[in-house]
Amino acid sequence: MNIAIIGAGLAGLSCALTLEKHGHSADIFEQSKTIGFKLRIAELMTPVLHAPINDVVQFFSEHHDIHLKPTSSVQKIHVHSPHASSFVEGKLGFINMRGDHPEAYEKQLAEQLVHSKIHYNQHVSYEEVAKAYTHVVVATGDPMDTEKFQPFDTAFKSTFAGAIVSGDFKRNEVHTWFDTTFAPKGMAYLLPHSESQGTLVVVYPQYEDTLKQDPDKLWKATLAHASETLNQTIVIEDAFSIKDYIVGKSAYPRIGNTFFVGNCFGAITPFLGFGQTGSILSGIYAAQDMCGLGQYEELTQSLYQDYHDSLTLRRAIERLSNHQLDLVTKSLRIKAVENAITEPNMNVLKLISRIIHPFSRKST
């Protein structure tokens, strides 16, 4: 086999690493001059999104010989709605850095490569690569590249506004806010990098009604609510914004000897908007197929199911008023509910959907 991977992100690098574990190598074409996108942000990897994988760092290390070093583990997730606050406690995942941070996950993966070569500053077309290689992995991170070959079902586009912020944080505790006044049909979250620095983000879908709202006002309101909740002044260090961020899925994971991985496959989970676990898994699964260790179409069925479960949950949350969001938040105070959410091997997406279902039908 002669394998080309277009894109040196999480999915592409995981694919190359897995190929190397089984005696193969790949040429990786990266259009940037370095590994990692331009932003420097924190992201969350949590078993909430990919049951029954409870400890994703241990899973990738023990099952796939891919080693990740997160910034910190998450022991508590606080959930805030307009007039209620609750939390769940347990082994709830990991915070890690992305983008141009020196310890970003994509940089960690690149450092583990031995035989595969990354060709930097190479903006190659699929057509020219396909002529020279027997197998091509599309891992650019852009679903529009998938649409050149097949349908890509876009669930929605999102707007992100956020910043690296400074303050006094507990690095093992994540804060989330569900409030339609500043996160319409979306959410805000704070992921600490350390005791003094973190990433604060508000993200919401770009629907006709949400697009009418002023993004600057929503961001300022998010910052104010976060400061009030944490009872401190949170200071912006480096602000950023992203529009038209596509969340969706491909119709087919593979066409001929072309594999679609990461965002080009549909690895973003619509509920929280994170896609790291799915991206890495899609890269691993594509490599396993090429090595004769399974069929990519079958291996990715669990990722498609995670996507659909996550989208169902998001649609349910989008229908909730602030009053209903308060009811859901208060339900997390029930010990049986918290225990069920933190139970190993529990499909948390389906569980939360069941919790939300009766509230979504109550009148305000």
pLDDT of residue 359 exceeding 80: no
pLDDT of residue 358: 57
pLDDT of residue 361: 47
From CA 44, how far away is CA 310, in angstroms rounded?
15
> What would the mean pLDDT of 225-250 be, rounded to a whole number?
96
What confidence tens digit (pLDDT) does each residue in 113-149 have?
Answer: 999 999 999 999 999 999 999 999 999 999 999 999 9
Instruction: Say what percent of the chain tops pLDDT 90.
Output: 80
Q: What is the pTM of this model?
A: 0.93
pLDDT of residue 49: 74
pLDDT of residue 340 exceeding 70: no
What confidence tens digit (pLDDT) does each residue in 48-67 have?
Answer: 777 778 899 999 999 999 99
From CA 154, how far away is CA 39, in angstroms rounded?
24
The answer to whether the CB of 316 falls within 8 A of the CB of 356 is yes
DSSP assigned state of 263: G
Q: How many beta carbons lie within 10 A of that of residue 318, not counting itself?
A: 17
In DSSP terms, which residues pair with 77 in a beta bridge? 88, 174
From CA 259, how far away is CA 1, in angstroms rounded?
14
Strand 76-81 and strand 84-89: the pairing is antiparallel
What confidence tens digit (pLDDT) does each residue in 157-173 have?
Answer: 999 999 999 999 999 99
The answer to whether the CB of 262 falls within 8 A of the CB of 137 is no
pLDDT of residue 338: 73
From CA 185, how far away is CA 274, in angstroms rounded?
16
pLDDT of residue 200 exceeding 90: yes
pLDDT of residue 227: 98
pLDDT of residue 281 exceeding 60: yes
From CA 348, how far away is CA 331, in angstroms rounded?
15
Greatest CA separation for the chain: 61
pLDDT of residue 18 exceeding 70: yes
**Fold of the CATH domain 3-360:** FAD/NAD(P)-binding domain (3.50.50)
Closest CA to 6 of 88, 102, 174, 129: 129
> What would the mean pLDDT of 218-225 be, rounded to a whole number?
97
Residue ranges of domains in the chain: 3-360
Closest CA to 187 of 2, 61, 352, 26: 352
